[in-house]
Structure 1
Amino acid sequence: MRADKRPQPCDVTVYSDKGSLALRFPKRHNPLWEQLDGKPLNGKAKCLGIGKYGYKNNPEDWKRASQIAIALEADLDHPEWEKLFDPTLAKYGLGGGKYAKLADVLQLPGTVQAKPEITVGEMWEAYLEWKKPQLEETTYEFHYVSAFTNAIKGLVWDKTKREFISAKNSIWDKPLADNHCFVPLLQGSPRLISRVTAALSEAFLHLQSQGKTKITINPFIGAGTENKADKYKTTVTTEGVTKEWWEIDDIESNPEENDKRAFTREERDIIIKAFYESEKPATRLIGPLVEFLFLTGCRSGEAFALRWQDVFLGKHKNYIRFSKSYNGRLKNTQVTKTGEIRLFKIYPKLENLLLKIKPVDAKSTDLVFVNSAGTSYTSGLLYEKWVNSNTTKKGIKYDYPGVVTQLADTGVIGCCLSPYHTRHTFITLQAHAGTDLLLLATACGNSVEVIQRHYLGIDTEVEITDI
């Protein structure tokens, strides 16, 4: 097959043979390559494949290959080439082949071996140490340590296995390199990619400010420039899949927040009744918590942290103060997700529940909801009673479906949504019942825009008012 050639900007030429790009060096460089390869070239030009930079049909690959060729020739033809040329080729972004190990065994006369460029993972770990004091602990743990780090490592959540698995697109071990962009290697929603690359871009700039990299071009250029107009288009196409506006992710770190489905009023009542009437005492005990979540739409952590001193029952004071949230994973109590204190006006059905469960001797500092051990509930415990729990005995795994799973499996309700959907159910039912949207948004800690966008779908039973 005839080799594909294009106009060359230097004597180190780029060519394509059988679809793969390679470099061909002028014969004046033969003595160096003969020493590096340990064998004579017999008058032939040295050829070096650079396969990872792609194929002849991609103009961008030709451009990158040409830039590598120019950089190599500039170093090799420089009067002080011994100090500039990197025999491991890592400096040129080609450090993954056999020459990568030369730094351990070869020292050319007068050559100062180039220090390998820092990897994305090393940069990220240093960035996390610098960034941690600037963030709330939950934000740091869930976003940066978990969601963002998993994306960089190419890990995706497997809903069936309920664990992270490799998507084989990790950039963690890849060294930083000029004229290289890592963003296309990331997979996920536009929202996640935007947030991760914005953080990576900041990490690179921090690294650069410390003089710990020689890379001059930000490999994460363009990060954090999510187009907000595109975000609110009627449809968005990602990786060949077109989604409607209500399917577009808003908060990648919490998929359940994105899924705005809700139970019907009848399903809500069936679920509450099933918890109260369970044959298992621990499941019956959690019934008031489940009902409270359905009747307030608060986030589960806010209910876990709620104490009687935050519940004001009376003629002139009849509200709940949501000011804290308990995180079972971190085992600590912090401010609410939005960092604000919310006052939730108590209505009759909610008041009846609170009066029913409040102990006569309750202290103001006592938790409103406690498990059988007398401690705060956690999302994990709620999940077990709601969806399923499992145990292993003698090497055999046993699964025990939760209350809502059983109701869905037997067809009593339409499907098994997560405990977080108690929030979506409350907001949906209230919005469609005509509750003032500003009051509802303030009580639940979101915005009128979010309610209009995600919870108020077209109701065919509603008619235009005759005025």
Structure 2
Amino acid sequence: MKVQSKAQPACDIAVYADKGSLALRFPKRHNPLWEQLDGKSLKGKPKCLGIGKYGFSADEPEDWKRATQIAIALEADLDHPEWEKLFDPTLAKYSLGGGKYAKLAEVLQLPGTVQVEPEITVGQMWEAYLEWKKTVVEETTFKDVFCTMFSNAIYGRKWDKKNNKYKELDTPISTLRIDDSTLGSQISLLSTCRKSYLISELSKAFDFCKSKGLLTSLTTNNPFVGDKYSSPAVTTQQKYASRIVDGVLIQWHEVQDEKELENDRRAFNKIERDIIIKAFCESSNKTYKALAPLIEFYFLTGCRTSEAFPLTWKDVDFERNLIRFSKSLGYSTRKVKETKTGEIRLFYFGENSRLKQLLLTLKSQGEAEGLIFSGFRGKHLTRDLVSRAWVGSSTTSTLADGTEKTYHYPGVVTQLIEQGLISGYLSPYHTRHTYITLTAHANAHDNNALLLIASACGNSVDVILRHYLGVAEGTTLVEV
């Protein structure tokens, strides 16, 4: 009977945990090399190399995998017949560079010592990714999210309101190389909204650069994966907390996030709607009063706020009594683009409806071919202008004695809340939810009407039934 030999381990360089970090234990056959590098005898004991300072934690499964890959690479080079050409005494080749062995190798002039080309930085990786990303995302999203929000976090740019310019942090992650052991701790310190989204895009940027051969080493691991950067569940206190945007402290309801606003389907009641429209019409502020037709239009059509800005009279057909919503205005680019859903919607109105009377009045006052709602010198209105008129604004001025004084200008809706005329604050975007809610409830028993509302507002009957109408109180099921 033939005795089978004992299977040999895949790698003789062992990976083990040492006080919460990882370390490598080398076989004794490698002792002569380490004794030369360390300049002292190992006295017959195996060489142990701690790698915790390079970011390897015993609590992270991914770090164990990375350490194992490094051990295999080290052994392959050290046991190769031409190991002097393959082994890098600086350890940079194995993502462990920058330590004492980088300097010792130069002093000892060991064979195989080569200058390993450094890995690319996070900034270089991000710039390469942006060149591609701008070709696949909508222009406004690219400018607002990728070039502003995310790039500011990566490059450590903070808006200095006092000096009206950006100031940069001393050590932004853009300057760190993607194999830097401190990168993980620096990412955890990032302060930006939608942080998990940023981490996800950084991970995609790494994969993109790797696929394009832009990385220095194919063995460099993606430092942006895993659950170590995952954000905790958002608490109610966090959800409604004030936030700092571009260096300015603002209330939660002033943050303009269209996705969140679309999902927040609270609405004004009919009486509150008419109180708000009347308040704009009777405002003593000429700018606020001039916006009254736009606010009423929002309440009577349920269109998204950005869809009203580029509307022209060519989009209105008085013979067929319809409005054609086919475009919107980019918030930051100020360019006309397609609607949020990319579809063209036809909004029908009644012959004697309040909406038709509003449009006819506006047409008699404006240009026949121009914008329905225009700003200074016939240009597009801005979302910021509507927001200031709605919720108010603040400005800070420096007085003659050098002190600063802040002036507050309340908006129309803010004043109505203070006067107790409406129940609470909702954003301009909620004019859309108000229209859908009021119209859906008024036509709850007419399926064709609900289908018409869904089509006109770029929604679905299912969404209207589930989120705007809900389950009617008093409804009972027929037993079967």
Question: Fold match, TM over 0.5?
Answer: yes
Aligned ranges 1:102-113 → 2 under 5 Å: 108-113=110-115
| Aligned-pair Cα RMSD in Å | 4.6
Aligned AA (1:277): E
Cα distance in 2, alignment partners of residues 253 and 34 from structure 1: 63
Match of 1:257 in 2: 262
What's the offset of the Cα at 1:350? 1.0
Aligned AA (1:41): K
Q: 2:75 aligns with which of 73, 76, 80?
A: 73
Match of 1:325 in 2: 328
Match of 1:336 in 2: 339
Match of 2:451 in 1: 438
Deviates more, 1:7-16 or 1:345-354: 7-16
What's the offset of the Cα at 1:109? 3.6
Match of 2:373 in 1: 369
Match of 2:243 in 1: none
Q: 1:270 aligns with which of 272, 275, 278?
A: 275
Conserved 8 A contact 2:281-2:289: yes
Q: 1:116 aligns with which of 115, 118, 137?
A: 118
Aligned ranges 1:14-163 → 2 under 5 Å: 14-26=15-27, 29=30, 33=34, 40-43=39-42, 45-51=47-53, 53=55, 55-56=57-58, 61-87=63-89, 89-95=91-97, 108-146=110-148
The higher relative CO (CA closer than 8 Å, separation ≥ 6) is in: 2
Percentage identity across aligned positions?
53
Q: Against the structure 1 CA distance between its residues 34 and 285, is the aligned structure 2 distance closer, same or farther, given a 3 Å change threshold?
A: farther
Q: Against the structure 1 CA distance between its residues 154 and 93, is the aligned structure 2 distance closer, same or farther, given a 3 Å change threshold?
A: farther
TM-score if structure 2 supplies the norm length? 0.71
Q: 1:383 aligns with which of 384, 387, 410?
A: 387
What's the offset of the Cα at 1:205? 4.9
Conserved 8 A contact 1:22-1:48: yes
Conserved 8 A contact 2:279-2:412: yes
Cα distance in 2, alignment partners of residues 19 and 192 from structure 1: 27
Q: Against the structure 1 CA distance between its residues 218 and 28, is the aligned structure 2 distance closer, same or farther, given a 3 Å change threshold?
A: closer
Aligned AA (1:70): I
Aligned AA (1:125): E
What's the offset of the Cα at 1:128? 1.7
Deviates more, 1:13-22 or 1:54-63: 54-63
Cα distance in 2, alignment partners of residues 20 and 417 from structure 1: 51
What's the offset of the Cα at 1:13? 3.0
Aligned AA (1:390): S
Q: How many residue pairs were aligned? A: 422
Cα distance in 2, alignment partners of residues 311 and 340 from structure 1: 17
Cα distance in 2, alignment partners of residues 258 and 345 from structure 1: 25
Deviates more, 1:211-220 or 1:411-420: 211-220
Deviations 1:154-209 (A, max 9, x none): 999xxxxxxx9x9xxx97666556xxx99xx8999xx9957973x55664554344
SS at match of 2:118: coil
Aligned: 1:300 with 2:305? yes
Q: Against the structure 1 CA distance between its residues 445 and 153, is the aligned structure 2 distance closer, same or farther, given a 3 Å change threshold?
A: farther
Q: 2:427 aligns with which of 418, 431, 435?
A: 418
Q: Against the structure 1 CA distance between its residues 192 and 21, is the aligned structure 2 distance closer, same or farther, given a 3 Å change threshold?
A: closer
Aligned AA (1:333): V
Aligned AA (2:17): S
What's the offset of the Cα at 1:379? 0.8
Conserved 8 A contact 1:311-1:319: yes
Cα distance in 1, alignment partners of residues 207 and 18 from structure 2: 39
Cα distance in 1, alignment partners of residues 24 and 139 from structure 2: 50
SS at match of 2:364: coil
Aligned AA (1:319): L
SS at match of 1:390: strand
Cα distance in 1, alignment partners of residues 99 and 20 from structure 2: 19
Conserved 8 A contact 1:91-1:116: no
Aligned: 1:458 with 2:462? no
Deviates more, 1:251-260 or 1:381-390: 251-260
Conserved 8 A contact 1:176-1:215: no
Q: 2:354 aligns with which of 349, 352, 364?
A: 349
Conserved 8 A contact 1:342-1:445: yes
Aligned ranges 1:396-407 → 2 under 5 Å: 396-407=405-416
Cα distance in 1, alignment partners of residues 333 and 451 from structure 2: 33
Q: 1:393 aligns with which of 382, 393, 397?
A: 397
What's the offset of the Cα at 1:378? 0.5
What's the offset of the Cα at 1:55? 4.5
Q: 2:438 aligns with which of 412, 424, 429?
A: 429
Match of 1:239 in 2: 232
Deviations 1:359-406 (A, max 9, x none): 356221x11112355432111111111122121210333332322223
Conserved 8 A contact 1:53-1:65: no
Deviations 1:267-292 (A, max 9, x none): 22222222112221111111111111
Answer with 1 or 2: which has the greater Rg. 2
What's the offset of the Cα at 1:115? 2.3
Cα distance in 2, alignment partners of residues 312 and 390 from structure 1: 41
Q: Against the structure 1 CA distance between its residues 95 and 439, is the aligned structure 2 distance closer, same or farther, given a 3 Å change threshold?
A: farther
Conserved 8 A contact 1:21-1:50: yes
Deviations 1:121-147 (A, max 9, x none): 432321221232344322433454356
- Structure 2 residues not aligned, in runs of 5+: 1-7, 159-165, 237-255, 399-403
SS at match of 1:344: strand
What's the offset of the Cα at 1:103? 10
Conserved 8 A contact 1:388-1:405: yes
